[in-house]
Amino acid sequence: KIIAEARRMVSIDNFISADQILEKRKTVGHITSGSKNLDDLIGGGFETQAVMEVFGEFGSGKSQLAHQLAVTVQLPKEKGGMEAKSIFIDSENTFRPERIVQIAENYGLDPKQTLANIHYARAYNSDHQMLLAEKTEDILKKGDVKLVILDSLTSTFRSEYVGRGTLAVRQQKLGRHLRKLHQLADMYDICVFVTNQVSTAPDTFFGDPTRPIGGHILGHSATMRIYLRKSKQGRRIARLVDSPNLPEGEAIFLVTSKGVTDP
């Protein structure tokens, strides 16, 4: 019965008309980043029913944005939130409750309650990370979670599968993981926010040599891809590099002690 209902929800066994898809798209929710510039770039905020990927070098603001969204998803809808809880899967030991408190206080939220609304788990390897993603369904079925964060998506895979000889196995496994994340986003109308590491392409002579980890598997799986890079005076530049319905573009935002905001 559960499998049948899931299949009905994600339309595995039957086709639906394009106007039904349009009606479903009208139910997509958005979570503010705290920066109007960034929200406008991505169509109003980080959206539900999607896997939203941000990638960039160390210090570019990926984890800061993850902490920010764990707070802003709890805001009232008129303030850009969804009055909902979040799940934070941490594979790099970057989660800091002190940072959540800072951001919550900036929004006038009760810090203790804000922390209580975040379900946290530490992922120690890729198998554990995939298991945690599956276990989120136990929480998602309650209906009060609208955001699942993976910070980062690729670090466990990258550290375990080293060298070209293991690349095919890694990519197959990462592909299975991403399919599950897409299924969760679609079935439970949630935003899946993932951060990703980068590498430098040695054969690039012109342009930016920075490349996100994950190859074509991740490139074709993320609903939107946002490239973050560090600028001067605490500024960050976000570039929308891939979206099914929005043009490429850039936005400038700040990371301050109070969180993410506009310059």
Instruction: Report the 3 state secondary structure along 58-114.
Output: CCCCHHHHHHHHHHHCCCCHHHCCCCCEEEEEECCCCCCHHHHHHHHHHCCCCHHHH
How far is the C-alpha of 46 from the C-alpha of 75, rounded, in Å?
14
How much is the pTM?
0.90
Residue whose tokens read 């910070």: 151
3 state SS of 143: coil
- Cβ pair 121, 128 in contact under 8 A: no
pLDDT score of 116: 99
Q: Which segments in the chain show pLDDT lower than 70?
A: 1-13, 200-209, 214-219
Residue type at 81 in one-letter notation: G
Q: Which domains does the chain have, with CATH numbers?
A: 35-261 (3.40.50.300)
How far is the C-alpha of 148 from the C-alpha of 44, rounded, in Å?
18
pLDDT score of 82: 98
pLDDT score of 243: 97
Tell me the pLDDT tens digit for each residue of 219-239.
678 999 999 999 998 899 999
Tell me the pLDDT tens digit for each residue of 7-54.
555 555 578 899 989 999 999 999 999 999 999 999 999 999 999 999
108 — phi, psi (to 5°)?
Answer: 75, 20
How far is the C-alpha of 196 from the C-alpha of 53, rounded, in Å?
7
Between the CA of residue 63 and those of 140, 150, 158, 222, 250, what are the distances in Å? 23, 10, 18, 18, 19
pLDDT score of 8: 56
How far is the C-alpha of 90 from the C-alpha of 153, rounded, in Å?
9
3 state SS of 20: helix
**DSSP symbol at 33:** -
pLDDT score of 221: 82
pLDDT score of 202: 59
Beta strands 198-200 and 210-212, pairing class: antiparallel
